[in-house]
Structure 1
Amino acid sequence: MHWVLLANGPLTLSPVIRQVISTAERLIGVDGGSRHLRAMGMLPHLAVGDMDSISEELLQEYRQADVELHLHPPKKDATDLELALELALTRGASRISILGGTGGRLDHTLGNIFLLSRCLPAGIPACIMDQEQCVHLTDQSLTLSGAVGDTLSLLPATPEASGVSLTGLEYPLQDATLTFGTSWGMSNVFVETQATVTLRSGRLFVFHLFRS
């Protein structure tokens, strides 16, 4: 089941974002992220957070529409997005897409990207994306569909990512080792409509930047 989580960061409702939302089997409005759905005339299936970034009017609208509410106090040990992600995981999500989790404060963006690690132990495909890019965290083979001319960058999320091989890209790699803190994996280019990343050990952040 595909769960789409809408966080409160900047988000342009581009065709690619609307397409992702249209494939959702469950939509979670993460606190003020519900505003993105409201702009499309849609209601979430669930709303999660302390609701300090949502109007009382919209909250009342959710109550009247029987939207499932998961309300939390402002002082807590996890962000609203982490709480929403944990809810999706416990409810049987088989795929998770996070929208509105990039841009704005850099600490929030990095923290949100690092939350992808919560999905790895269960083997659940997850990404965080906006209208310009999609970010994955992987410890196994990953195949991405894109357009010729799209950009792909790799950043190790562990001290080393070894056995890294790439296909479908302008600069192929074969059994390479990428180390944390280097930029060797940056700015590769799709030469086919599919690109594959494989690795033997470690973890990689995979950034897929859409051609403008």
Structure 2
Amino acid sequence: MARRSAEETRRHILKVAGDLFYARGVRAVGMDLVISRAEVANATLYRQFATKDDLVTAYLVSRNDDWWRHLRESAAAAPDARARIRLLFDLTRQDMTRPGYRGCATLNITSEFPDAEHPAHAAAVAHKTEVQEWLSEQLREAGDTDPEDTAGKLLVILDGAQVLAAAMGTTTPGDHMTELAEQLLEARLPAPGTGSR
């Protein structure tokens, strides 16, 4: 097998650790298990990530970067802002049907690391803030007169559904999520092509 570069090794460790963290929870996964599953030497892992906190934070940042890349690539074909918002909810609903779904990785991190000063918690909050800002931008473009308020409500719908879907092991919260989001969009956005609600 060809030797990996330092960057390839880092990505490999993050992938293995991320899969374990998501499936089992961060607190339940020790560095020894990551080393074993990644089939790397102790020194190799610790050269990339000096502490478990460093690994957890890097995992979350990497996962969130992947999430944004996927959303932006998918949204590129959407005809307008309203369609981009709907797409976010559709992608989230699809994610709930994936085997092994355990909810939003970012929310899971905030519950495992409740200290707001922890770097992983801070990265999670930064991601959620970014999502809310993205929603607000789309809503403003779609003609919402109070996009920040609507974005906050949509984020509550989005995240609440993910928590319930993971806890209950069913996609029904995803169905409710898309229905509620659509009702809110209908109430807050001008009718397409009319400029008025």
TM-score (norm 2): 0.28
Between Structure 1 and Structure 2, whose CA radius of gyration is higher? Answer: 2
Decide which structure has greater strand share.
1
Decide which structure has greater helix share.
2
